[in-house]
Structure formats: structure tokens, C-alpha cells
Amino acid sequence: MAKPDLLETVEVETGRNPGASVIWLHGLGADGHDFEPLVPQLATPRERPLRFVFPHAPVRPVTLNAGYSMRAWYDILALDRYADQDERGIKVSDAAVRALIERENDRGVPASRIVLAGFSQGGAMALHTGTRYPHKLAGIMGLSCYLPLSSQLAAERSEANLTTPIFLAHGTQDPVVSLQFGEESRRLLEEAGYRVEWHAYPMPHAVSPEEVDAIAAWLRQRL
């Protein structure tokens, strides 16, 4: 099977010759620039250099938004944990994310020094790919998101990342991806044996300053 074309990315390096990378996937309708401004709060020039890779998702029609085309990792029919899911779209994006991990390998960064992260739909992809990736990652981070295709996890997951730390955070007032949806995903992962660090913040579908501080601390532990 031919490798997918590499996604276009925004990249920020916090120093020369970074030896670790964070691949961070944006949410529905955003792009790779969305979390770029957070980098100075997540790593300082005095720390070990990191490379932040923020890919742009492809533009595609999204059923939830009346079929309008926007950047999306896969189609969303409804924000309901019982709704049908775009399995094909998820798996196409999974291949694209794996290609980005492999490019970091080619640039001298092993999987064990890579954190796969994402917000909302991007967080869902981070959880999907991270639990299935065949080589151990440094960490998996999902913000304001859920675990897609959860019924397939037991059959598809990779033992390589069963002990990989997972950071999950969610807003208690999230009107887009409900807190209950996030908590259910946390429970499913924990019942499957994953080590989950869970944070809940009094916020909507967003990222708070307290959350950014917790992410920075977690990244320092991982990388």
C-alpha cells in the first residue's frame, strides 16, 4: 500500500536540533495555526529543544455542518456517542498521522520521543492512532475529545502503547463534546488497562490557562 501524501504542517522548534517532537492535531474547522501561539507557554528556550508539528487536516464536507466543506479529520454525522461514525475517514487520517510520525523518525526522533496530541476532533484522532500505533510513543494527549470507534479498540489496539501515559482534559461546561462523553472515554480506556491522567476544568469547549500549565508540566515529564 502506497504511503499517503504528507499533510501540510506548521512547525515551531524551541531550540536547535530538537530531539523530541509533539504532533498536535487541531479541531474541526480550525487549522494548524490554532495552537501555535501556545508553544512559548509549553516549552522555554532554556529547556531541552522540542519540535511542535501542527498539521492541517484536509478540507472535506461535514454532515454535522450541513455539508459545508471545512478542515476535518473525518466526517461527523452527529455529536452523539451512539451515532454512526465515519470509519473510512478516521482510518484515512490515521494513515496520514502515522506518516507524520514516520517523518519525525526519518529526522532522527524515535517514536519513544514523540507525543501525539490533539484538541476536539484532533484529540479523538490522537487517541485513535496512539492506542493503535505499533511502536511505543512518549505520550498521548486528548483535549475536550472522545475515543472514536471505541468498540474496535480491543481488537485493534497495539500492545506497544498499553503502558503509554494518556493525558485527558475536558471542560465541565462543554456544549460541543459533553463532559459525559469525555468521562465515558476515560472509563473505557482505564478499563482497557491504560494509565489515564484526567483533568476537568470549569470552561466550555476551549483551553484554559490552568490546563495549559498542566499540559506543560506533563510534557516536561514525558519529554
Q: Is the pLDDT of residue 139 over 60?
A: yes
Q: Is the pLDDT of residue 1 over 60?
A: no
Give residue 5's identity as a one-letter amino acid code.
Answer: D
- Residue 83 has a pLDDT of 83
Contact yes or no for 98/74 (Cβ under 8 A): no
State the helix-helix crossing angle for 87-106 and 121-132, rounded to 10 degrees. Answer: 70
Residue 120 among the catalytic residues:
yes
Distance from chain centroid for Cα 91: 14
Q: Dihedral (C-alpha) 116, 118, 122, 127: value to the nearest 10 degrees? A: 50
Q: What are the tens digits of pLDDT across the range 60-97? A: 999 999 999 999 999 999 877 778 999 999 999 999 99
Walk across the sheet containing 114-119 and list its strands: 9-13, 50-55, 20-25, 114-119, 139-143, 166-171, 196-201
Within a 13 Å sphere around the CA of 54, how many CA atoms are in the beta-carbon half?
A: 18
Q: Is the pLDDT of residue 2 over 60?
A: no
Which among 42, 30, 180 has a CA at the least distance from the CA of 120?
Answer: 30
Give the active site residue among 120, 144, 150, 185: 120
Residue 21 among the catalytic residues:
no
Give residue 157's identity as a one-letter amino acid code.
Answer: R
Residue 26 among the catalytic residues:
no
Q: Which three cell numbers stand for residue 75?
A: 466526517
Q: What confidence category does residue 3 fall into, taking pLDDT thresholds of 50, 70 and 90?
A: low
CA dihedral over 100, 105, 107, 108, signed as positive or negative: positive
Structural domains of the chain ordered from first start: 9-222 (3.40.50.1820)
Please give the share of the chain, as a percent, with pLDDT higher than 70: 99
Q: What is the mean pLDDT of the chain?
A: 96
Q: Is the pLDDT of residue 111 over 90?
A: yes
Q: What confidence category does residue 25 fall into, taking pLDDT thresholds of 50, 70 and 90?
A: very high
Q: Is the pLDDT of residue 217 over 90?
A: yes
Assessment of whether the complete model's pTM goes beyond 0.85: yes
Give the active site residue among 56, 135, 199, 205: 205
Look at 43-57, 93-107, 129-143 and tell me which has the smallest mean pLDDT. 43-57
Task: State the DSSP code for 71.
Answer: E
CA dihedral over 164, 150, 213, 32, signed as positive or negative: positive
Q: What confidence category does residue 158 fall into, taking pLDDT thresholds of 50, 70 and 90?
A: very high
- Residue 175 has a pLDDT of 95
- Residue 8 has a pLDDT of 97
